[in-house]
Amino acid sequence: MKLTKMALLGFGTVGQSVVKGLRGDSFPSLQLTHILNRNIARKRETEAAGYAGPEVVWTEDIADVLDSDVDVVVELIGGSDPAATWIEHALRSGKSVVTANKQLIAYRGPELARLAAAHGVQLLHGAAVAGGVPVIPGMQQGLGGDQVVRVSGILNGTCNYILSRMETGDRYADVLKDAQALGYAEADPTADVGGFDARAKLCILARVAMQAELDPEQVATQSIAEVDAVDFAYARELGSTIRQVSKAQLLEQGMYARVAPMLVPLNSPLAWSHGTQNMVVSTGRMGGDVVFSGHGAGGDATAVAVLSDLLAVAQGSRAVHLAAEPKSVTGDSVAPHYLRFIVNDKPGIVSAISGALAAAGANIDSLLQRKGYPKQRLAFVVTTEPCLNSVIARAVDSTATLDCMIARPLALEMLVVDDKDEPTA
Amino acid sequence: MKLTKMALLGFGTVGQSVVKGLRGDSFPSLQLTHILNRNIARKRETEAAGYAGPEVVWTEDIADVLDSDVDVVVELIGGSDPAATWIEHALRSGKSVVTANKQLIAYRGPELARLAAAHGVQLLHGAAVAGGVPVIPGMQQGLGGDQVVRVSGILNGTCNYILSRMETGDRYADVLKDAQALGYAEADPTADVGGFDARAKLCILARVAMQAELDPEQVATQSIAEVDAVDFAYARELGSTIRQVSKAQLLEQGMYARVAPMLVPLNSPLAWSHGTQNMVVSTGRMGGDVVFSGHGAGGDATAVAVLSDLLAVAQGSRAVHLAAEPKSVTGDSVAPHYLRFIVNDKPGIVSAISGALAAAGANIDSLLQRKGYPKQRLAFVVTTEPCLNSVIARAVDSTATLDCMIARPLALEMLVVDDKDEPTA
């Protein structure tokens, strides 16, 4: 058997899990030869270092890796620099690359893939989306025969942890603190709660599933920090819950793509996911909905994706590749919306709000008012008939300026579950 | 671009969907050259025949295909003969084969795969399990890095349709009749309801996910026909529903594998599936649970798997391959059980039954008796502490002979949901 020599860049949580996974004779075709990290002395004291074997070269100098005869470089340091430079060097020197770097693949994936192809090596990034859930390989190898028209996902475990805790009555600020203590959320949680992490993953999925190259900067995001406990109470009355949903859908021209907290009906698969789980629902013209779910983060789950990609490189296996093309992006699509207002209750308020909505072009579908909120800080909800997100944005702007309004109104897109797709046999 | 020429054996539901999927320029690398079927004149009148193109050779003679220069033969006729002979001929003459034939792949897959390898061609069978759900390619390409220790699935859409209708109060006989009228069930439904269809798929999954070659004949089955409306009522009291579950699990020695109606807790993903949906839950040592679900049957969904495999052949792509080894099978594992008795109620019955259970070695965990059943035909339920299925089989045999017993007791394995697996980051 030909041995595939591999170098690990980054010996953090995922890197250590990869080395643990390699121990014993599980992967006789893979040989770990280098581990690179800053402050390597400290890393050598970890438990996982004990599994690395005595022949491994521990180094802080990338030249040791790039000048060696390793066949594959596993990039687990994240960020854009020096990761991008190192990956380019590796590919140019004829080494395949396995990476979990979602931002890099989202922004520069097509260009790096061309570089890999030009040098006859592979660039695999199964770990960049949904960690241990084999959605990228599953789509490449198993859905290439369909025309996927929509991908919706729960792509950020931190947000899912926060929102599924809020679903049971906890407050955003408290849950965020817990998530930070548990290591699920960073000290600065913006990348997660603001939707930027999920946005990168959505762009990668759009490329793999729908052959659409999206510019991540063009994908609209909405933070989950605006969602309040009261919204879960109203969502429940609407037979729904709230999740950070990443959604991309083919339009007649271009593509709708957006990452935002959305109302998810309880009978949607997206409502099944709880805790830090990830889920992707892909909708194909022929095959209908396909659901992938599992643990999207964590060292061990992510290591499964890395090790599976390493096996693919070692075996010289190649996934089906469909050429992608750049596609323009809009955050605007037609959907029903949920609008939550917090007002100082006075006569004429419903009239003022409904007038402002009508002026913006949004038709009210239902008006909900739960008991138990004080008149000076009354929370009530309007759902609209399907209309463009941009119409709703205008409606929010105009109602926000009403005298009675105590907080800026919150608008959430409402997902609609399409239940017609029973197969015919 | 090199054209891959393909022949279709079988122009039924799936074959027609494949041809529909090929229309237009969706797959410029694939060229359909032959369609074989009995009574070809009748087939040429179907709507799908119109998409086949004028250059296609319609034939009833397999020699036309085998003697041609087609690169891939798509076998969609099912059954063991002549499918097996034709597949062997195709492989020997250097043609790749794409098949949806689950029985053939379950019984003879390893041998046919060796034949394909010996002739440098591919044998792909993504459509043999769960139709349009890319569980086989997803596992091959995306879970090779894990050690999968268990696979549980809803692998037969007919049974899932019947049981999820019964869940809402319908009777088995009525639902079966509807399923037959809708084309979900055959006139003789034994292969589906008896578990033989699912058993073949389970053996294929065990091979792909756990590298275990199982003899399908050694896998125990239990028919869903024994399940009654009363069992759903009791299941609900136990926070569960009933599904035909196909389960294979690595033991210290050999493997547990079984297809049977089982009690599924409502918080298990397996309880999410409804209608004719299929679902597979794979449990890995590193990555935990991964769920795949979607439409497992129907022409269009199955055609997605066939077309995806065809693309893989056309691109010369190859999935990761892990060598499988024969494994011995037992239907015996330790689990809690549900036992339903229908008795003519007289004093001393509980004592007699509990005595018989104790003598067999089964410990009672709970005893449930819903109101509203007549004393002469009283249905009540015992759940047991975890014990071997064989212990329960003995308990059923001995209680079946008690005077009070009006029907043979029904025993169902109870699935336990492992909720500990929150990832650590």
- Shortest distance between the Cα of A382 and any Cα of chain B, in A, equals 30
Q: Measure the CA dihedral B87/B93/B98/B103, to 10°.
A: 20
| A138·B138 Cβ contact <8 A | yes
Backbone angles phi, psi at B208, to 5 degrees: -70, -40
Model confidence pLDDT, tens digit, residues B255-278? 999 999 999 999 898 998 888 899
Q: Is the pLDDT of residue A422 over 60?
A: no
Confidence grade of residue B423 (pLDDT, cut at 50, 70, 90): very low
The percentage of residues in chain A with a pLDDT greater than 70, rounded to a whole number, is 98
Question: Which position among B43, B201, B247, B327 bears the catalytic label?
Answer: B201
Task: List CB contacts (< 8 A) between A74 and chain B.
Answer: none
pLDDT at residue number A425:
29
Task: List CB contacts (< 8 A) between A287 and chain B.
Answer: 131-132, 294-295, 300-301, 304
Q: Is the pLDDT of residue A55 over 50?
A: yes
Q: Architecture of A334-414 per CATH?
A: 2-Layer Sandwich (3.30)
- Measured from the Cβ of residue B209, the count of other Cβ atoms closer than 10 Å reads 28
| A286·B306 Cβ contact <8 A | no
Residue in B147, B288, B311 nearest the CB of A301: B288
Confidence grade of residue B424 (pLDDT, cut at 50, 70, 90): very low
Confidence grade of residue A274 (pLDDT, cut at 50, 70, 90): confident
Distances (CA, A) of B419 to A241, A302, B289, B416: 21, 20, 10, 9
pLDDT at residue number B298:
87
The percentage of residues in chain B with a pLDDT greater than 70, rounded to a whole number, is 98
Burial state string for A80-119 with b = 16 or more CB within 10 A and e = fewer than 16: eeebbebbbbbbeeebbbbbbbbbbbbbbbeebbebbeeb
Residue in A13, A126, A298 nearest the CB of B142: A126
pLDDT at residue number A218:
97
CA distance B209 to B320: 12
Closest residue of B to A267, CA-based?
A: B272
Beta bridge partners of B57: B34
Task: List CB contacts (< 8 A) between B131 and chain A.
Answer: 287
Q: Architecture of B4-124 per CATH?
A: 3-Layer(aba) Sandwich (3.40)
Residue in B145, B269, B300 nearest the CB of A287: B300
Confidence grade of residue A275 (pLDDT, cut at 50, 70, 90): confident
| B145·A309 Cβ contact <8 A | yes
- Shortest distance between the Cα of A37 and any Cα of chain B, in A, equals 20
| B311·A145 Cβ contact <8 A | yes
CB pairs under 8 A between A and B: 236
For A155-207, strand residue ranges (E) read none
Model confidence pLDDT, tens digit, residues A354-401? 999 999 999 999 999 999 899 999 999 999 999 999 999 999 999 999
Model confidence pLDDT, tens digit, residues B12-38? 999 999 999 999 888 999 999 999 999
Task: Report, as an integer, the average pLDDT of B186-206.
Answer: 96
Task: List CB contacts (< 8 A) between A315 and chain B.
Answer: 318, 320-321
Confidence grade of residue A419 (pLDDT, cut at 50, 70, 90): low
Q: Is the pLDDT of residue A276 over 90?
A: no
Task: List CB contacts (< 8 A) between B13 and chain A.
Answer: 425
CA distance B39 to B303: 22
Distances (CA, A) of B257 to B131, B151, B206, B215: 21, 9, 9, 10
Closest residue of A to B132, CA-based?
A: A287
pLDDT at residue number A273:
82
Residue in A13, A134, A310 nearest the CB of B290: A134
Substitution target in A143, A148, A178, A321 with the highest count of B β-carbons within 10 Å is A143
pLDDT at residue number A93:
96
Confidence grade of residue B250 (pLDDT, cut at 50, 70, 90): very high
Task: Report, as an integer, the average pLDDT of B234-262.
Answer: 96
Task: Report, as an integer, the average pLDDT of A238-261.
Answer: 96
Joined tokens for residue A156: 């950020």
Task: List CB contacts (< 8 A) between A306 and chain B.
Answer: 145
Domain ranges for chain B, please list them: 4-124, 135-291+321-330, 334-414
- Measured from the Cβ of residue A375, the count of other Cβ atoms closer than 10 Å reads 9
| B21·A286 Cβ contact <8 A | yes
Q: How buried is B340 (Cβ within 10 angstroms: 0-12 exposed, 13-18 middle, 19+ buried)?
A: buried
Residue B201 is among the residues annotated as catalytic for this protein = yes
Lowest mean pLDDT among A226-230, B154-158, B180-184, B232-236: B180-184
ipTM of the complex model:
0.94
- Shortest distance between the Cα of A246 and any Cα of chain B, in A, equals 19
Question: Which position among A201, A247, A327, A371 bears the catalytic label?
Answer: A201
Tell me which CATH code domain B135-291+321-330 carries.
Answer: 3.30.360.10
Model confidence pLDDT, tens digit, residues B151-173? 999 999 999 999 999 999 899 99
pLDDT at residue number B272:
84
CA distance A159 to A199: 13
Task: List CB contacts (< 8 A) between B316 and chain A.
Answer: 318
Task: Report, as an integer, the average pLDDT of A106-113.
Answer: 96
Model confidence pLDDT, tens digit, residues B380-411? 999 999 999 999 999 999 999 999 999 999 99
pLDDT at residue number B26:
86
Q: Tell me, rounded to whole angstroms, the distance of Cα A8 from its chain centroid.
A: 24
Q: Is the pLDDT of residue A256 over 80?
A: yes
pLDDT at residue number B419:
54
Closest residue of A to B299, CA-based?
A: A425
- Shortest distance between the Cα of A271 and any Cα of chain B, in A, equals 11
| B298·A21 Cβ contact <8 A | no
> Who contacts B168 (Cβ-Cβ below 8 Å, separation ≥6)?
none
| A298·B136 Cβ contact <8 A | no
Model confidence pLDDT, tens digit, residues B42-80? 999 999 999 998 999 999 999 999 999 999 999 999 999
Contact of B132 with B295, CB cutoff 8 Å: yes
Q: Which of A317, A270, A275 is nearest to A296 (CA)?
A: A275
Residue in A142, A301, A310 nearest the CB of B134: A142
Task: List CB contacts (< 8 A) between B134 and chain A.
Answer: 138-139, 141-143, 290
pLDDT at residue number B182:
87
Task: Report, as an integer, the average pLDDT of B352-366.
Answer: 95
| A291·B291 Cβ contact <8 A | yes
Any idea what the Cα angle at residue A239 is, between residues A174 and B288, rounded to 5°? Answer: 60
Q: Is the pLDDT of residue B418 over 80?
A: no
pLDDT at residue number B425:
29
CA distance A212 to A200: 13
| B145·A303 Cβ contact <8 A | yes
Task: List CB contacts (< 8 A) between B290 and chain A.
Answer: 132-134, 292-295
pLDDT at residue number B306:
98
Task: List CB contacts (< 8 A) between B185 and chain A.
Answer: none
Query: Largest Cα–Cα distance in chain B?
Result: 81
Contact of B52 with B23, CB cutoff 8 Å: no
- Shortest distance between the Cα of B379 and any Cα of chain A, in A, equals 32
Substitution target in B27, B208, B286, B318 with the highest count of A β-carbons within 10 Å is B286
Residue in B145, B300, B308 nearest the CB of A310: B145
Closest residue of B to A278, CA-based?
A: B290
Model confidence pLDDT, tens digit, residues B124-144? 999 999 989 999 999 999 999
- Shortest distance between the Cα of B242 and any Cα of chain A, in A, equals 19
Closest residue of A to B267, CA-based?
A: A272
Q: Which of B113, B110, B102 is nearest to B80 (CA)?
A: B102
Tell me which CATH code domain A135-295+326-330 carries.
Answer: 3.30.360.10
Task: List CB contacts (< 8 A) between B301 and chain A.
Answer: 286-288, 423
pLDDT at residue number B227:
96
Closest residue of B to A132, CA-based?
A: B287
What mean pLDDT, rounded, does chain A reach?
A: 94
Backbone angles phi, psi at A368, to 5 degrees: -120, 135
Query: Largest Cα–Cα distance in chain A?
Result: 81
Closest residue of A to B307, CA-based?
A: A145
Distances (CA, A) of A69 to A34, A96, A411, B375: 10, 12, 55, 80
Closest residue of B to A156, CA-based?
A: B425
Residue in B286, B308, B316 nearest the CB of A141: B308
